[in-house]
Amino acid sequence: MPATARLRPMRARDVHQPHRVATSLELLFDLVTVIAVASAAAGLHHAIAGGHTADGVVRFAMAFFGIWWAWMNYTWFASAYDNDDGLFRLLTLAIMGGALVMASGIELFFKSLDLTMIVTGYVVMRVGMVVLWLRAALGDPARRPTTLTYALGIALVQVYWAGLLLVGPSSFVLLSLLFALGAAFEIAVPALAERNGRTPWHRHHIIERYGLLNIIVLGETLLAGSLALRAVAGEQFQIALVHVALSSLVIVFSMWWLYFSKEEHLRSQDLGRSLTWGYGHVLIFAAGAAVGAGFAVVVDIVSGHAQVLPSIGNYAVAAPVALYLLGLWFVRDRFYFNDMARHVLPAFAALVLLVPLQPFALEGVAGLLVLSVFVRSMLAEREAARSKVHGATG
């Protein structure tokens, strides 16, 4: 019998395990997650192109929260307790199935207030997590108060979501408010549970997992660039679409460079710092997906398939780019730097928001991002050099 087919106690993983990397199962989980992310980005794209920007942004935020939160909870759990036995794999696959059900309901949610598929898929994912936390409670007695708090908290919040589905709010405003309340309940569970004792997640493993998801999310922008080139090949040649494709490449490469800089993302396992870093990444991930949706809107405008002003398309790109920069500042740079390098990303975020009303807006955003990479790298190296000098003389 294969080792993975046997049930094994779900004991705590070694937080100092060397060379800990993402497993093939985790990578498959990410692949399923990106299907749901792509569905949410497509919904945002069509809402903006159809002239329903505000409504589309709210629905995107709601859909993306469910996708991201389920991914994040599983990722941190697996970092602490993944024993790779048969039941762990089966529960993970069941959670993936829930993610696919969520993805299948996102298009309908953008067209109406129907949350049936999204909530059903989400509850399936979260019930799978309840079972995993109960297994951890059996296998890790020392942290049983923490693991049971997770299991109970997650289960109670699913009762809330099921009740929301049964009530079926008739107005979008009421639905948004009730959704925000449910999201607050979800966010509170880890903060309460971890105060009973820290789960043994692996710092380098978590950093890698977040980086891998960011790469996948940035792929939405690469896809939008390819759509622009496909439009050039399939229709009457338009130089504007070439500019869109090139701008998307420069922007996504710069976003990647800024995220994967030399500075370490999470230098400690302090609870407050970990929660800020882990939760704050929703800004980065959502913004990365929204940039791709924005470029898809621009392609529609240039090719004559959208009836909104070009400035709307430009802001659909610039606004999430600015949010991405602010997200990186929020989770990393404000903690890492002390001098001028600390203010680079917020400054360039503000500049990016000034560009969409100017000629060659996308090229301007791309140019500013390249400049931000250069300026931040230069100031970071200067600050590191000064720290070495001070350390040597101190």
User: Which amino acid type is present at position 242?
Assistant: V
318-327 mean pLDDT? 97
Cα first-last separation, the chain: 61
Residue 29: is its pLDDT beyond 70? yes
| Sole residue written with tokens 């090949």 | 233
Please state, as a whole number, how many other Cβ atoms lie within 10 Å of the Cβ of residue 371.
14
- Cα–Cα distance, 55 to 47 (Å, whole number): 8
34-52 mean pLDDT? 91
Render pLDDT for 355-377 as a digit per residue (tens, 0 to 9). Answer: 988 888 999 999 999 999 999 99
User: Which amino acid type is present at position 316?
Assistant: A
Nearest to 302 by CA among 235, 383, 220, 391: 235
User: Which amino acid type is present at position 153?
Assistant: G
- Cα–Cα distance, 320 to 48 (Å, whole number): 13
Q: What's residue 75's pLDDT?
A: 95
Please state, as a whole number, how many other Cβ atoms lie within 10 Å of the Cβ of residue 86.
15
Q: What's residue 4's pLDDT?
A: 52
If one compares 326 and 248, the residue with the highest pLDDT of the two is 326
User: Which amino acid type is present at position 216?
Assistant: I
What band does 392 get if pLDDT is binned at 50, 70 and 90?
Answer: low
Residue 337: is its pLDDT beyond 80? yes
Q: What's residue 232's pLDDT?
A: 59
**One-character DSSP codes across 320-385:** HHHHHHHHHIIIIIHHH--SGGGGHHHHHHHHHHHSTTSSSHHHHHHHHHHHHHHHHHHHHHHHHH
Render pLDDT for 166-198 as a digit per residue (tens, 0 to 9). Answer: 887 778 899 999 999 999 999 999 989 998 888
Render pLDDT for 280-307 as a digit per residue (tens, 0 to 9). Answer: 999 999 999 999 999 989 988 888 878 8
Q: What's residue 375's pLDDT?
A: 95
63, containing H or E segment: helix 53-81
Cβ atoms of residues 7 and 88 within 8 Å: no
Please state, as a whole number, how many other Cβ atoms lie within 10 Å of the Cβ of residue 224.
25
Cβ atoms of residues 218 and 328 within 8 Å: no
Residue 123: is its pLDDT beyond 60? yes
Residue 2: is its pLDDT beyond 70? no
Nearest to 287 by CA among 361, 369, 209: 369
Render pLDDT for 92-115 as a digit per residue (tens, 0 to 9). Answer: 999 999 999 999 999 999 988 888
DSSP state, 18? Answer: T
Q: What is the C-alpha R_g of the chain?
A: 22
Q: What's residue 386's pLDDT?
A: 81
Q: What's residue 7's pLDDT?
A: 84
- Cα–Cα distance, 185 to 195 (Å, whole number): 16
46-56 mean pLDDT? 92
Mean predicted lDDT score pLDDT of the chain: 90
Q: Torsions phi, psi of 306, nearest 5?
A: -135, 145
Q: What's residue 307's pLDDT?
A: 81
Render pLDDT for 209-261 as a digit per residue (tens, 0 to 9). Answer: 999 999 988 987 777 767 666 765 665 567 888 888 889 899 999 999 999 99
What band does 268 get if pLDDT is binned at 50, 70 and 90?
Answer: confident
10-25 mean pLDDT? 91
Q: List the domains of the chain with CATH numbers.
A: 22-196 (no CATH), 203-393 (1.20.1410)
pTM of the predicted model as reported, rounded to 2 decimal places: 0.93
What band does 1 get if pLDDT is binned at 50, 70 and 90?
Answer: very low
Cβ atoms of residues 315 and 356 within 8 Å: yes
User: Which amino acid type is present at position 81?
Assistant: Y
